[in-house]
């Protein structure tokens, strides 16, 4: 994360997690961040967390872009060649997944017509 601390998804057991692969330098980023802020503000008190993986090639840009975000932000310096993106079969950015309180991946964005409703169901 920004403080150099290793952050593991498994440490979030007991929370509903939105695992988000993104690039802050992409044109969609600002609008997406606003949508995520709204979700986080509403659901974080109920046990919701966002774990956002930046695949931006420029680490400085990542640090600047996520400096004031309240959720977990990590950076993969391998960018689009990220091992983690391959493990989750990320074919495009942004891509997100929902993980339940038991750390089980339950859905990816293509299977989620209403993200807020899906989060509420898992909470």
Profile the chain (123 residues) by mean pLDDT over runs of 10 residues.
Answer: 88 96 89 94 97 90 89 89 88 93 94 95 96
CA angle, corner 22, sides to 51 and 28, nearest 5?
125
Tokens of 91: 């074919």
pLDDT digits (tens, 9 = 90+) for 14-28: 999 999 999 988 888
pLDDT digits (tens, 9 = 90+) for 33-45: 999 999 999 999 9
For residue 105, what pLDDT is reported? 95
For residue 97, what pLDDT is reported? 96
For residue 78, what pLDDT is reported? 87
- Answer for the pair 18, 39: CB distance below 8 angstroms, yes or no: yes
- Answer for the pair 84, 76: CB distance below 8 angstroms, yes or no: yes
Tokens of 10: 């498994």
For residue 82, what pLDDT is reported? 87
């Amino acid at each position: 994360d920004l403080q150099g601390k290793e952050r593991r998804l498994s440490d979030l057991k007991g929370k509903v997690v939105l695992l988000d692969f993104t690039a802050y330098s992409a044109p969609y980023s600002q609008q997406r961040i606003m949508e995520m802020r709204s979700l986080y503000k509403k659901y974080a008190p109920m046990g919701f967390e966002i774990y956002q993986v930046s695949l931006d090639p420029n680490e400085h840009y990542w640090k600047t872009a996520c400096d004031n975000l309240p959720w977990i932000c990590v950076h993969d310096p391998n960018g689009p060649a990220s091992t983690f993106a391959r493990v989750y079969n990320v074919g495009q950015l942004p891509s997100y997944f929902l993980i339940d309180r038991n750390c089980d991946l339950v859905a990816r964005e293509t299977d989620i017509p209403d993200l807020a409703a899906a989060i509420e169901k898992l909470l």
